[in-house]
Structure 1
Amino acid sequence: MTARRIAVVTAGLSNPSTTRLLGDRLASATVRELAARGIEATVDAIELRDYAHDITNNLLTGFAPPALEAAINTVVSSDALIAVTPIFSTSYSGLFKSFIDVLDPDALTGKPVLIGANAGTPRHSLAIDYAIRPLFAYLHADAISTGVFAASSDWGAQGDGVASLGDRIDKAARELADTIARRDTVESTDPFDPANYLGEGRSFGHLLGGLAGE
């Protein structure tokens, strides 16, 4: 089985960035969960701040410079996407949305996506479901049900008394790994193997007998 490739897109503006840190933790947890399922995975990290000028040029000219084109191809050809954005004014950042805008509208169709976001206060946590998730739904991506939001307090010793950031990361990683594993199972299934549709312990004779009322 070939290694699965996970693209991690982060839209943090600072360096170092807590947005990138969240993306890295989500990726590491997903790789660990996939390894537990016997699936090897590699990670390609893309920090959009490095492509900000190229993204603007693409929006203005309609053509992606070589570096941006390579980043786009990495995302489009990946087996799964982890997308993390800071929350500005209750929604995803302009840089994050601009990158989405330069993608082909059908580029993410059916692709498993784990959504992450971070902000200074937990009050922005709902942005995952009312702003970011609808964006990926519009693109027909397969966004997993658990998104991970990290407030500034989550990085401290106290964190969230209900569910720690680590617990939320692990839960989302398990869901993404399960989605990838299911797709691997479907891809590895031989459509011409009778056992795949006759059921265990059955034969064509059983099937024909059932059709004839035995």
Structure 2
Amino acid sequence: MRLVIVSGGTSDPSSTRMLADRLAGGVIDAAVERGLEVTTSVIELRPLAGDIADAQAAGFPAGALAEAIERLGDADALIVATPVYKAGVSGLVKSFFDVVDQDLLIAVPTLLAATAGTARHALVADESLRSLFAYLRTLTTPTSVFASSEDWGTTALADRVDRAAKELVVLVAAGVKDAMRDSGGRYNRVFGGAAGGGDEIRLDSDLMRLAAGGGASRPVRPV
């Protein structure tokens, strides 16, 4: 089981990274109970901030960012943890997944987590992160995990971490990712992310010829 952890924390030490590590520990424990061997890989977004901005401007990732996205594509399971800024998901986390090809994570079991200084932001993971990963067509666990400053050390947080970790392992153990990708459904790559997909664009289509200033081979009906 290849577990990839994406942490959007920018401070050192980072409560976001602490929560991500705690979740990873819970996943490893739950996986061992099912006889699964786990390898983990952590993608810290703070050192990639410049590369992410460059990728958004250039249209493709390079260097360390490209390597991180390659590791992301090999994941059997994913943990994504974000700090809450201005009552929403970190811009760094959003920008990173903006440059990931939108077909890269189809059916990947994903656990969502968020941290903040106050419990008023407890729904950010469900209201903001979950919609993003629905668009990416991952399989998010029913339970997300939020931790505010007062949550650390409580049994409530420990119970939620344990439940979410077990849900993630259940999805992996069931082989849902491979089964869904092999189900015969058509997952066509489209030009929707900077990590790839451009090789699937039909450059000889009428609309592409019109966009390039050429004429269409046949009349294009208005829509």
Which amino acid in 2 is paired with 1:150? A
Question: Secondary structure of the equivalent of 1:45?
Answer: strand
Count of residue pairs the alignment pairs up:
179
Is the counterpart of residue 166 in structure 1 residue 158 in structure 2? yes
In structure 2, C-alpha distance between the alignment counterparts of 1:25 and 1:182, rounded to whole Å? 23
Larger radius of gyration: 1
Change in Cα spacing, 1:131 to 1:184, as seen in structure 2 (3 Å) is: closer
Change in Cα spacing, 1:186 to 1:107, as seen in structure 2 (3 Å) is: closer
**Paired position in structure 2 for 1:181:** 173
**Paired position in structure 2 for 1:33:** 30
Length-normalised TM-score, structure 2: 0.77
In structure 2, C-alpha distance between the alignment counterparts of 1:110 and 1:35, rounded to whole Å? 22
* 1:14-61 Cα deviation digits (max 9, x unpaired): 011010010011011101100100010111011100100110111111
Find the partner of 1:148 among 145, 150, 153: 145
Q: Map residues 12-161 of structure 1 onto 2, 5 A cutoff.
A: 12-155=9-152, 157=153, 159=154
| Unpaired segments ≥5 residues, structure 2 | 180-223
In structure 2, C-alpha distance between the alignment counterparts of 1:121 and 1:15, rounded to whole Å? 19
Which amino acid in 1 is paired with 2:160? R
Moved over 3 A (4+): 184-187
In structure 2, C-alpha distance between the alignment counterparts of 1:72 and 1:185, rounded to whole Å? 18
In structure 2, C-alpha distance between the alignment counterparts of 1:180 and 1:63, rounded to whole Å? 30
Question: Secondary structure of the equivalent of 1:104?
Answer: coil
Question: Secondary structure of the equivalent of 2:174?
Answer: helix
- Percent identity reads 44
| Unpaired segments ≥5 residues, structure 1 | 188-214
In structure 2, C-alpha distance between the alignment counterparts of 1:164 and 1:142, rounded to whole Å? 24
